[in-house]
Every structure is written in structure tokens, then in C-alpha cells.
Amino acid sequence: MGKEAAKFVPTDTLANHLAIKKLAGNDRRFLVQAESHLYNDSGDCAETLSGLNLIPLAQGRSSIELAEIKQ
């Protein structure tokens, strides 16, 4: 595939978790859409496995407004 390395993960849930963990870096708080799969369907995996605090925004909407992020 022309890549230097790859990582196999057995589930989409684990792939999502690893991506969020990587994107969060050293930050513990992570903004997510309130309707997102990670927030609604993955239980508390991000909190339990990586100590991340998922903060849901834009409930019932498809996008997050800048004012919500600043708040």
C-alpha cells in the first residue's frame, strides 16, 4: 500500500478510540458531537482506557458552532 507502517485493529470501536487518543495528545478534554458514535455507542471506553473526558456539543445538530467551542 505504499505506507511505512500499518496497524491492524479488530474493531471500528478500537480504531475510533485510538484515533481520538492520538488526536487528544496530552489533553484530557475532547470535544465531540453529541450525536457521535464514539459518545453514544462506545460506552465509556475513552474515559476508562485513556482518561479522556468527552464533552458533547451540538445536540441534535450536525455541526458544532464556534461559539459553543469557545464557551
Question: Using one digit for the tens of pLDDT, what is the confidence trace for 4-43?
Answer: 988 889 988 888 888 889 999 998 998 888 888 888 888 7
What whole-number distance in Å separates Cα of residue 5 and Cα of residue 30?
27
Encode pLDDT of 45-56 as tens digits: 888 888 999 988
pLDDT higher than threshold 80 for residue 1: no
Q: What CA–CA distance (Å, rounded) separates 6 from 4? A: 7
Q: What is the pLDDT of residue 48?
A: 87
Q: How many residues does the chain have?
A: 71
How much is the pLDDT for 24?
92
pLDDT of residue 10: 93
Element (DSSP H or E) covering residue 63: none
Residue 38: partners with Cβ closer than 8 Å, 6 or more residues away: 16, 17, 20, 32, 46, 54
How far, in Å, CA of 8 to CA of 38, rounded? 19
Residue 65 has pLDDT above 80, yes or no: yes
